[in-house]
A and B are shown apart, each in its own frame.
Chain A
Amino acid sequence: GNSVTQMEGPVTLSEEAFLTINCTYTATGYPSLFWYVQYPGEGLQLLLKATKADDKGSNKGFEATYRKETTSFHLEKGSVQVSDSAVYFCARTTSGTYKYIFGTGTRLKVLA
């Protein structure tokens, strides 16, 4: 079936630490992959995306590479800030449909 699996949170890091949040997917076809971020009290905001294998999405210092061979789209950031504290959702589409499949979300807490 089609699904998205994220690492369980919460993830607690010190400021300037390296961040990795794992995401793997199962899918038929060739999905587009996304990372969304949800800050407290807000809706989801698109952080980055990749639409085909080997594409790298990047934004605000965050990066993720679409790895077809490992069906992964791990989120990374070299140096996190307190303001990065939020819930991060991995998601995918399937060609020709309106459906987006989301992971359960990973809460990140960055300490000063």
Chain B
Amino acid sequence: QLQLQESGPGLVKPSETLSLTCNVSGGSISSSSYYWGWIRQPPGKGLEWIGSIYYTGSTYYNPSLKSRVTTSIDTSKNQFSMKLSSVTAADTAVYYCARLNYYDNYPFDYWGQGTLVTVSS
């Protein structure tokens, strides 16, 4: 059974960089059938796609965050990561990592449990 687990600091200061890693177990991150992505959810609000990455390192991002976000993938460790720079209180959210299934028209079919990141001094 595929499992995804986010990790990273739960508290980040304004203007600093938020860094998260998603560890994937029970399956290979190098499969050509899947992309890997990040989604966030501010407390009490809806879901926002942040960006996605392929095992080759190819990336695409939400234009609303593109200037501040970078993602990377480490196939040797079976994990991928995200960095969001110049954070503000508006970036406080639960951050999820998820798998996008190419063959099923790109739904997010597996999700991590999510990690709450609070931006505060």
Pair from one complex: no
Binding site for B on A (CB under 8 A): none
Binding site for A on B (CB under 8 A): none
